[in-house]
Each structure stands twice: as structure tokens, then as C-alpha cells.
Structure 1
Amino acid sequence: MSVAERIKQRVLRMQRGEPFTNTRFLKLGSRSAVDKALSRLVEKGVIQRVARGVFVRPKKSRFIGNVMPEVSRVIEVIAKDHGETVQVHGAEAARRFKLSTQMPTTPVYYTSGPSREIRVGNLKVKLMHTTSHRRLQHAGKKPGLALSALWYLGKDNIDAEAVRRIREGLSTEEFETLRTSKMPAWMASAIENYTQGAAHG
């Protein structure tokens, strides 16, 4: 069986709407053979290219046609492929916890890898290099998202209400993970003050 046939068979077993990278198939053939096979599958409409080297089996919706995977999922797949750790930037994290209504026009992520821009569909995504392990703690999980939001709010904007909203967005276990994370003293005391207040409330 040719490399192209083997790749096609494997692609057809993949879950629709779940992004994957070309490196997944490198055991089946050379880079150029893999890229050529994937390009043919794109031409035939079997898969779609969502970013450089990232593809997806289109998931259909009767309302909007092809449903593209979420940008965050595409970034996770790219990061995993490069052995990077990525974390949602604070502005987006704050929005998800309803601490801000501002929609960042360009999605931004912190990364342990190099700073760069990636096109996902028609969207430009920024990856910003950080050497801070604390900023990348619990990457891809809700406690990590909460840390990112708190850093974004900053020392002067954290109050009991902000911590309450974050607490509401986390399970008891996730909040405990957040409390025991490595963080600056001002952040830890804001969380502790809220916890003690809630206990007495």
C-alpha cells in the first residue's frame, strides 16, 4: 500500500473537528511524501488546512456548514507538536471569568517556545515567549487560566469580587490547586482574604 493510501486510511479514522499535525504521519513516509498526500486530501475536500502543518476532518453543521476547531485547540496541538507549554493570555482569561468584557482582537498566548505569529484560518494569533514558569503553571487547565486572569488584573485591581468570580468558575478542587500554586504575595493574600471572608460569611 502506498504512503498516500496509508495516510488516507488513518485520516478517515480520525475524529471530525479534531485538529492534527503532519508530524503524526512521519513514521509512514518522508516529509515530502506526507505533505504531498495531505495536500491531495485537502484538494479532494477530505480534510481542511487550518494552519501551517495543521489539518482537520471537517465537521459539518446544517446551519453553518463546516465547523472549524477552536483556536485554542489548534494552538494546543501546535504546542504539543513543538514540545512547548502554552497558556492563555490574561486579557482572554479575564474575559472568560467575566472580569472583563473586552474582546482581544488578536488572540495572545504565553509560550515556553519562541515568540511568533501563526495564522489559524483568517485569524492572526500571537505567541509571546515567557521565561516565567509561574505564568505557565497548570497550562491548559482552569487553575492556570485563573492565574493568568489574576496577573492581568494586577495588584491594584484584585478585590474580593474578582476572586469571587474566579471562585465561581472553578470547582472546589480547582480552587484548592489555585491556592497552592506559586504566585506573588499580593495574589496569595487576595485569595486568602477572600477565603477567610467566605468562611466567616
Structure 2
Amino acid sequence: MKKVHTQIEQLIARKKPGALIFPTDFRGLGTETAIKQALFRMVRNGMIRRLTHGIYYTPKKDEILGELIPGVEEVAAMIAKKERVHIVPSGADAMNRLGLSTQVPLKLVYLTDGPPRKFKVGNLEVRFKATTPKRVSRKGKISSLVILALEETNLQQMDDLTKNKIKRLLEQEDPQKLKHDLSLAPVRVNDFIVNLFKFDTTMLK
């Protein structure tokens, strides 16, 4: 039978540059200690890189930018997939993704129906904040982000320009998905969106 280190090395050699690696990928090949020792040796010999605690990746180089590290969103999505939980951006990040804010968050916060956790990708802190299943079960790609953003916004102080931007964004959403997501939204957010379409009810029929 092949040694744990040899088996893991062969599996990693087949991965694409920039692929994320977790110790749990190799469960069944050996003990947790043996797996971690194998990964540690591969970091030392340059075969893989350590991104943060418990997460590694295969080196990837760009001719101009040099060595690249995996993106934060990719890492967060992979962690959620591994842990079989759902994650969605928090309000500040949702605002930024929708183009409603130019402020880049100093740390990224995702809401999750799984356990809370923190980790770093480079100098950026990422946090999974536990929330109710309802907040991560919305269907619309646009409407879910809009509702998440509005949940953490002072709606009374929002200017007309921003309201019009939000209305235009929601007009791109599937009406059925918007209706579904509104049914899971807080009352104040539901009322705010309904008022945006009070003279154009086609989206909310």
C-alpha cells in the first residue's frame, strides 16, 4: 500500500494551478495527523502554498502579475461547499456588489446558516456570521442582494437617485423570484420595495 504522503502528492499533482486544497479532501487515506504532516512537507518543498489555517492551494503564476492567490469569494464559496452550508453577502458587501456604494469593506462578512467562523485571505479578514435559514434561502440573484443591502440601510435617509438605481436593478429580476424573496423580507423592506413600484405594479403581480 502506498504511503499517505505519496498518495496525497499524486492527487495534488493532478489539480489545476490555483486549486484550493483542504485536509478533508484526503480523509480515508490516513490519520488526520498523517495528512497534515504530508501537506506541511509539500508546503516546505514548494509543491503547494498555505493560504490560511486549514486551507492550501497549488501555485499559479501570471506572466505580468507573478504568483496569484485564490480570490476571497472563491475561498468563501469553497468553504461553504465543503461544510454544506449556505452563505450570502452581508449588507455592506451587497451594497458594493450592486454598485450602490463605492466603499470597499475592510473585512468581508457573509451570513450563513452554518456555524460562525473567521479566517484571513492575505490581509483581508473574512467572517461567517450565523443567521436564520430564511435570510439565506432567497432565490433571486438581484433581489436577494437588494434585500440584504436594504436590511442594513437607513431607508428613511435614502435619496431619490439611490431609490431609482434600486428600482432599475429590481426591474431586471424575475418577478416570481422577487415575489418569493419579498415574502421572506422584513416588513419595512417589503414596504419600501412595494412603494418603489406603486405606480408600476407589473413586477409585483
- Residues 197 and 9 from structure 1, CA distance in 2 versus in 1: closer, same or farther, beyond 3 angstroms? farther
Correspondence for 1:52: 53
Distance 1:15 1:44 in 2: 18
Unaligned runs of 5+ in 1: none
Change (3 A) 1:106 1:66: same
CA distance in 1, matches of 2:51, 2:140: 20
SS of the residue 1:60 aligns to: strand
Q: Point out the more displaced range, 166-175 or 144-153.
A: 166-175
Query: Could you say what secondary structure the match of 2:156 adopts?
Result: coil
What's the % identity of the aligned pairs? 32
Match of 2:94 in 1: 93
Listed as ranges, the matches of 1:15-34 within 5 Å are: 15-34=16-35
Query: Following TM superposition, where does structure 1 have runs of at least 4 consecutive aligned residues deviating by more than 6 angstroms?
Result: none
Secondary structure of 1:180 counterpart: helix
Corresponding residue SS for 1:29:
coil
Counterpart amino acid of residue 28 in structure 1: L
> Is the CA contact 2:85–2:113 (under 8 Å) kept in the aligned structure 1?
yes
Matches within 5 A, 1:50-199: 50-130=51-131, 132-138=132-138, 141-157=141-157, 161-162=161-162, 164-166=164-166, 172=172, 176-181=176-181, 182-195=184-197, 197=199
Partner SS state of residue 27, structure 1: coil
Query: Which piece of structure 1 moves more, 175-184 or 18-27?
Result: 175-184
CA-to-aligned-CA distance 1:101-159 (integer Å, 9 cap, x gap): 222111112222333421223322222222x2232224895543333122122442567
TM-score (normalizing by structure 2): 0.80
Unaligned 5+ runs, structure 2? none
**The residue matched to 2:17 in structure 1 has which SS?**
coil
Q: Is 2:95–2:149's contact at 8 Å kept on the other side of the alignment?
A: yes
Q: Deviation at 1:71?
A: 0.9
TM-score relative to the length of structure 1: 0.81
Deviates more, 1:42-51 or 1:182-191: 182-191
Amino acid at match of 2:91: G
Classify 1:169/1:49 alpha carbon distance in 2 versus 1 (closer, same or farther; 3 Å).
farther
| 1:15 match: secondary structure | coil
Q: Secondary structure in 1 aligned to 2:19? A: coil
Q: Over aligned residue pairs, what C-alpha RMSD do you find? A: 2.9
The aligned amino acid for 2:48 is I
- Contact 1:146–1:178 (8 Å) recurs in 2: no
3-state SS, counterpart of residue 99 of structure 1: coil
Range with greater deviation from structure 2 (184-193 or 96-105): 184-193
Q: Which moved more, 1:121-130 or 1:34-43?
A: 121-130
Count of residue pairs brought into register by the alignment: 199
Shift of 1:37: 1.3
C-alpha contact (below 8 Å) 2:140/2:174 kept by paired residues: no
